[in-house]
Structures are given as C-alpha cells and as structure tokens.
Amino acid sequence: MKKIFFHFFQDFRAYKIRFLLVLFGVAWGTTTIILLMGFGVGMMTGIQEGMSGMGEHIAILWAGQTSIPYKGLGIGRYIHFVPEDAKLLREKIDIIDEISPEYIAWGKPIKYKEMLRQAKISGVNPTYGKMRNLVPEDGRFINKLDVEQRRRIIFLGTEEKEKIFGERKAVGEKVLLNGIPFLVIGVLKEKIQMSSYSGSDEQAAFIPYTTFKVMYGRRYLNNIVYRPVSPELAEKAQKKVYEVLSKKYKFDPNDKEALSFWDVTETEAMMSKITKVIEIFLALVGAMTLLIAGAAVANIMYFLIDERTKEIGIKRSVGATAKDILKQFFIESLLLSSIGGIIGIGFSSFVLHLCSFIPRVGMLEFFGAPKLSPEIPLVTFIILLIISFFAGYFPAKKAASLNPVECLRYE
Amino acid sequence: MSNILIEAKKIRKEYKMGEEKVEALKGVSIRVKEREFIAIVGTSGSGKSTLLHILGCLDKPTSGKYSYRGKETKDLSDKELSSLRNKEIGFVFQFFYLLPRENILQNVELPLLYRDTSPEMRNNMAREALDKVGMSHRINHLPSELSGGERQRVAIARALVGEPNLILADEPTGNLDTKTGEAIISIFEELSDAGRTVILITHEMELAEKAERIIKIRDGKIEGG
C-alpha cells in the first residue's frame, strides 16, 4: 500500500500538468454538484419555510355569490358567514381538525402613549394561531377563556410590536384599540411568510373574535380558516363544506361561485413537484459533470498505462501477477479521484459556509440560505467513487491483460 | 545424474503480425538438467528469444508440451505462473529493463515485493545481491546514472535476489563492449559454478563456447536436433 502511494506521488511529479488538470476536473465536478445541490436545497427549504409561514395544509374559505338558481331562489344572492358557521362545520364534518372564524379590519388605530399605528386587526379563535403558525416569541396566543369572556387582550405582529415598543418589552403593557385599553399578551416570533390572503402577519394584531364582534359591531365574518385531519383529505373536506353550507344557505351544492376556497395543500403539492423537478435537474447536471471528470480520470489512466507498458512487462517478468498490475493502476485512479473529490468537497463546503453569512434580506429571504446537509457530500462522494471505479477499472483491466512479452518489446 | 529441470517437447509458437501469421518456433524439443550451463545460439529472428520467453513462463506455446520440474505449465493459472517466475526464474535482458524512476536498490528489491518479505529482509537481500555483482557502492543512484555494464550488473542482481534456480539471459552482452561483455559472462560462469542452471542466449559463438552445451537454432528449429 505504501508502495502504491509512493508510486502515485512519483507519477504525479512526472506528469504534473496532466495530473493537476484531472484533479481540477474532478474537484470542479464535485464542487459543481455540491454547490448546485446546496443552493437547490437552500431554495427548497426557503420555499417550504415561506409556504409554511402562512400555515400548512390549511384552507381559507370565503363566501361568494350564487350563480345557479336553486329552489326558486334566483342568482346573484350574496352568502355571508357568521361565527356560528365555523362551529357548525366543526360539528358536522369529522375530518376537519381545526377551524376558526376570522374577522378582519384594516387600518385600525393602535395607540400606546404618544405612538399611533394603523394596523390590520384580526378577530380569531385559539386554534387560528396553531393553523397559521403564529408562534409567540414572548407571552402566549389567544386562549379559550379569552374568547369565552370576550377579554380585551391583543397578540401583536412582530413589526407592529417593534414600531410601537421598539426594544422595550410589550407583554404586560396596555395599548388603546378604538380608545379601549387592551392588554398585550403575546408577540409574534419573526417568520418568513411567502403567501398571504390579507397581508403579512407581522404587520397585524390579533384579538378574540368575540371581542372583535362586539367592539366593531360586525355581523359577518371575512372568512373561515380550517385544516383537515390530513392533507389527503383536503378535497373531501371541501366537498363536505359545500354540502353543509349549501343546506344551511340554500344554494346548489354544485354552485362554484357560492363559496371559494384557497386550499394550500394544492399549492404545496405543486411547489413540491416543481422543487422535485429542479432537484432532479440539478442532480443530473452535477452527475454529468462528474461523469466528465470520470472520463478525464480514465483518459489519464490509459495514458499512464501506455507510458508504462514496459514497466508492466518488467514487473510481470519478475513475478507480478495480472492482479498485482490491476491493483496498482486501480488504486492509483481511485486515489486520483478521491483526492480531487476531497478538494472539491472541501472547497464547496467552504463556499457554502461563506454563503451562510450573507444576510437574508429582500429576495434572498425567499431564496433561503444555501445549506450543506451532510448527505449531499456523502452522496456526491459515493457517486464519484462509483464513477471512478469504472474510470479506473477498465484501464487497469487493460493493463493487467497485456501480454508480458509484448510489453517488454513495446517501444 | 542430475534431475531434469526443463523439458520442452515439440514447442510451436505462432504470432500474428497484422494479417500475416508468423511461425517463430516450429517444433522445438529441448531438455535441460539442473545445474547445466547452456548457450542457445542463433541469428536474429531465429526464434531464440521466443524460446526463452516460453522457457521463462512469460509466454505460452501455441502447441507442444512444456514442463518445469515435471509440471506442465499449460495447466497453471496466471497466479501460479507468476509465482514460478518470481521464485524459480531470474531474467536478464539485452536492454537491462530497469525501472528508470527507481534507484538501484529499489530495482533489485522489485521481485521481493511480490513475495511476503519484510522491508528489512528485502533490503538485506538486495544489498547482498548487489554485493555479489560488485555494485554495492551505488545503491542510491538511478539507472540513468550508470554505464551499460553497471546497469547489466544491477539487472543480474535483480535476477539473483530471489535465489532462483534458473537464470535466463537474453543477449546480456548485446549492448556492451567486448571487455565489459566478458566480465558479465564471467558472472554467469560463477553462477553456474555456484550450482544454478543458466541458459544464455547469444549470437556470438565466442561467448557461447564458455557454456557446457551449445544449442543452435535456425528458423525456429534446432539444428541437428
């Protein structure tokens, strides 16, 4: 083994430029595949994070206008939801896991001392926080008692808290909403939200829907948010919602205009398909680069064997078996690609590490930080070894099968 | 009466040179006893090198029977043939065939690399072999730094290092001047005296006469044989 290392470095010295070019090729191939995969994974986790920012597997339900005459009732009738509809759906449809009514009011003043902000206020129930990924950084989200007792409490979006309180602690303070004091019970943890239906959660505040209803005197909800037991049941849940609500509001269950849905699972499925395709594409490009690097390794091995035909003959004449020759060239080629691969993995890890220092602002927020999960270099290295196995095996096999006498005669 | 080391019967060897078939050996039979010193003489192209390669188990005959110590080589695997070359046979070539990038000591150690020999043991054996041919003073030099005669001595040391029974020399003096050539031949004489079987190929009758027996080969056949 030591001998083979020694030979390898001797060859390296003798054919410096050739070896360096091959090493560069292998290293570059490895770097490309790892960087591509790293950025790809970063992008995908960015997208996933952004998607889950609004909530996972949830559906938003709006009331619409009828477009099909039904039981003597004409078209163009507006449907309106009331908070009881959420309860009704929850009771009638067992595949709905969580559901919350939602009132929304935009541009409502929030006052704190001399500070005045205009913000979006949502009136919701406790499960809303769970569904919409409203994780408190400080304090808590709205609970059952808050809703039952119509408490005057408020959960602030990240940005609103910062604009109103700055660095100071907000939980425990009182703000004025509509001139009425509200206790801040929680502040939203910063989050990446790629999609929304009524504005960013960071620029909003949340209060119990019961409180909202009384304070703003609103009868009708803006929408309902619900989550089925599992994403596979999303379509079935939609159908059930139609059944229940069409009965209550007397519209044709096939009237597409009467209700409208935004089913996030559909978007999720599409995005995951897109990211899969991107992932496969990146992997293919990377693998092709590695394949080319493998061809370079094979090429230099054939060259080396040509150069060393006489050496093969001499070694055979003093008792080297065909297997000894095969081993020698095979291990040399494996060494060549391993060293190249390690350089590539090292370099690309370094680059990805540097990338993690780029602040995620603007577009980069959605792009996601390039990530180096440990399986990427591992898989790359395994692919590289498989490719270099063939790149080394065939030339080595050729070297081993040469006739010793012809090797000795070779000029 | 000594034992028979080599027995070749009706050895034929064909080559393909492009489209043409060349018959290098046309039925050669030869018998060599242990401790014999034989010279095979013939002009270039007579097939003597081909014969030597077959005797040295580097090549296989197209037809005919070749036995080494009573064992037919046709049935031996690559591994067994390699082991035979490694332990029983030492080659000396006209063009020395030393590895250009390795020093003298490493060159001589080469056959021992293909055996289970410890590094110290290899080193000692190689030094001893170099000592026998009078080259122990230049072990760290590369072959290119030596004269032709010196290179051939190193090549002989390499052939000897594994303590083989049979030394096969293919025109060992062909690339040397007369005086150096004589010195090399005297090494072979000493080896023969020390109990080894030596087969020497040459086209110079003068050198061949130092051997105990001369076999003449012409056009792939043994003359008068």
pLDDT digits (tens, 9 = 90+) for B181-194: 888 899 899 999 99
pLDDT single digits (tens) A330-356: 988 888 888 998 999 899 888 888 877
* Rounded mean pLDDT, A95-115: 93
Bridge-based pairing of strands A153-156 and A180-188 is: parallel
Average pLDDT (B156-171) is 92
Q: Do A319 and B101 touch (CB under 8 A)?
A: no
Backbone angles phi, psi at A268, to 5 degrees: -60, -45
Encoding tokens for residue A192?
Answer: 């990446």
B13, B58, B103, best to mutate vs chain A, most A CBs in 10 Å: B58
The pLDDT of residue A310 is above 80: yes
Going by the DSSP 8-state scheme, the letter that residue A16 receives in this structure is H
What number is the average pLDDT over the span A134-150? 94
Q: Is the pLDDT of residue A34 over 90?
A: no
Residue of B nearest to A319 (CA): B86
Rounded CA-CA distance A112/A92 in Å is 43
pLDDT exceeds cutoff 60 at A366: no
**Which band of pLDDT confidence, cut at 50, 70 and 90, is reported for residue A369?**
low
Residues in chain A: 411
Cα–Cα distance measured from residue B61 to residue B17, given in angstroms and rounded to the nearest whole number:
16
Nearest-neighbour CA in chain B from A386: distance (Å): 28
Least confident of A48-57, A307-316, B8-17: A48-57
Report the gap between the CA of A40 and the closest CA in chain B (Å).
48
Residue A1: which pLDDT band, with cuts at 50, 70 and 90?
low
Residue linked to tokens 């060159």: B107
For A249-272, b/e burial (b = at least 16 CB within 10 A) is bebbeebeebbebbbbbeebeebe
Helix (H, G, I), strand (E, B) or coil at A251: coil
Q: Which two tokens stand for residue B85?
A: 């070359």
Buried b / exposed e over A346-364, threshold 16 CB at 10 Å, is: ebbbeebeebeeeeeeeee
Report the candidate in A47, A27, A50, A44 with the shortest Cα–Cα distance to residue A373: A44
pLDDT beyond 50 at B1: no
Q: Which residues in chain B are contacts of A401 at CB distance < 8 A? A: none
| ipTM score for this prediction | 0.92
* Per-residue model confidence (pLDDT) at position B7: 93
Mean pLDDT, all residues of chain B: 90
Nearest to B114 among A311, A319, A404 (CB): A319
Tokens of A228: 């089925």
Q: Residue B204 — very low, low, confident or very high, per pLDDT cuts 50/70/90?
A: confident
| Tokens at B178, concatenated | 């007369």
Site from A16, A317, A401, A409 to mutate, B interface, most B CB atoms within 10 angstroms: A317
- The alpha carbon of residue B4 is apart from the nearest alpha carbon of chain A, in Å, by 23
Dihedral (CA of B88, B92, B93, B96) sign = positive
pLDDT the model gives residue B57: 92
Rounded CA Rg of chain B: 17
Q: CB of B191 within 8 A of CB of B160?
A: yes
Closest to B217 in 3D by CA, of B10, B55, B47? B47
Of B38, B33, B43, B55, whose CA–CA distance to B188 is shortest? B38
Q: What are phi and psi of A22, to 5 degrees?
A: -65, -45
Virtual torsion, Cα B24, B29, B34, B35, nearest 10 deg: -60
Chain A residues with CB inside 8 Å of B85's CB? 316-319
Structure tokens at B82: 């390699």
CB B106 within 8 A of CB B174: no
Residue contact A321–B82, C-beta within 8 A: yes
- Distance in angstroms (rounded) separating the CA atoms of residues A176 and A158: 18
Alpha-carbon distance of A312 to A310, in angstroms, equals: 5
Percent of chain A with pLDDT over 70: 96
| Maximum pairwise Cα distance, chain B | 51
Give helix then strand counts, H and E, for chain A.
Answer: 14, 10
B109 class by beta-carbon count within 10 Å (0-12 exposed, 13-18 middle, 19+ buried): buried
d(CA A256, CA A387) in angstroms, rounded, equals: 55
**Cα→Cα distances A183→A112, A137, A186, A187, A210, Å:** 11, 16, 9, 12, 16
Quick check: helix, strand or coil at residue B90?
strand
CA distance A300 to chain B (A): 19
Maximum alpha-carbon separation in chain A: 105
Query: Cβ–Cβ of B110/A314 closer than 8 Å?
Result: yes
Amino acid at A322: A
Which residues 6+ apart lie within 8 Å of A19 measured at CB?
A11, A12, A300, A336
Q: Residue A11: is its pLDDT beyond 60? A: yes
Find tokens 């051997």 and name the residue.
B211
The closest of A21, A16, A26 to A335, measured between CA atoms, is: A26
Does position A368 have pLDDT exceeding 70, yes or no? no
CA distance A295 to A301: 10
Angstrom distance (rounded) from CA A18 to CA A5: 18
Closest CA to A32 of A352, A392, A311: A352
The separation between CA A167 and the C-alpha centre of its own chain, rounded to angstroms, equals: 31
* Residue B97 Cα to chain centre, angstroms: 12
Average pLDDT (A263-270) is: 85
> Does the distance separating the beta carbons of B79 and A408 come in below 8 Å?
no
What percent of chain B clears pLDDT 70, i.e. is strictly above it?
Answer: 98
Chain A: nearest CA to B124, how far in angstroms? 18
B86–A315: do the CB atoms touch at under 8 Å?
Answer: no
Judged against a pLDDT cut of 50, whether residue A129 lies above it is answered with yes
By C-alpha distance, which of B65, B58, B63 is closest to B31?
A: B65
Cβ neighbours of A175 (radius 10 Å): 23
Tokens, residue B59: 């090549």
A315 in contact with B at a CB cutoff of 8 Å? yes
The pLDDT of residue B31 is: 92
Cα–Cα dist A18/A20, whole Å:
5
Which residues face B7 on adjacent strands?
B31, B67
Looking at residue A65, what DSSP letter applies? B
Sheet strands (E) in A231-276:
259-263
**Dihedral over Cα of B114, B116, B120, B125: its sign:** negative
Residue with tokens 């939980």: A171
Query: Lowest-pLDDT range, A10-14, A65-69, A324-328, A362-366?
Result: A362-366
- Which of B82, B98, B101 is the closest to A319 by Cβ? B82
Distance CA B160, CA B112 (A): 11
Q: What is the pLDDT of residue A364?
A: 59
Token code pair at residue A78: 């507006």
